[in-house]
Amino acid sequence: MPTAFVLVNTEPANEETVLKAVSQIEGVVEAYILYGVYDILIKVETESMEKLKETVIWQIRRIKGVVSTLTLIVAEGKP
């Protein structure tokens, strides 16, 4: 099961709106507002790399208020 962490920068004062929107996306298992360089951290789990790509590119990046994303695909996890 492909897993990725997506770091998101939003337009100012849009963090809560974007958080609510990403929480409705299938495959998003966790999402948090952050302090620091990035505004939101999203954990995505999907059944395939194709679905992961679709979720990030066609759903998360197209949310109104999202300025940029950085996707970190998990190579190996804790057993």
> pLDDT per residue over 30-71, tens digit each?
999 999 999 999 999 999 999 999 999 999 999 999 999 999
State the pLDDT confidence band at 74, using cuts at 50, 70 and 90.
Answer: very high
Domain that holds residue 69: 3-73
State the pLDDT confidence band at 16, using cuts at 50, 70 and 90.
Answer: very high
Provide the whole-model pTM: 0.95
- Total number of domains in the chain: 1
State the pLDDT confidence band at 78, using cuts at 50, 70 and 90.
Answer: confident
State the pLDDT confidence band at 10, using cuts at 50, 70 and 90.
Answer: very high
CATH number at residue 34: 3.30.70.920
DSSP E strands, 1-79: 3-10, 28-33, 40-45, 66-73
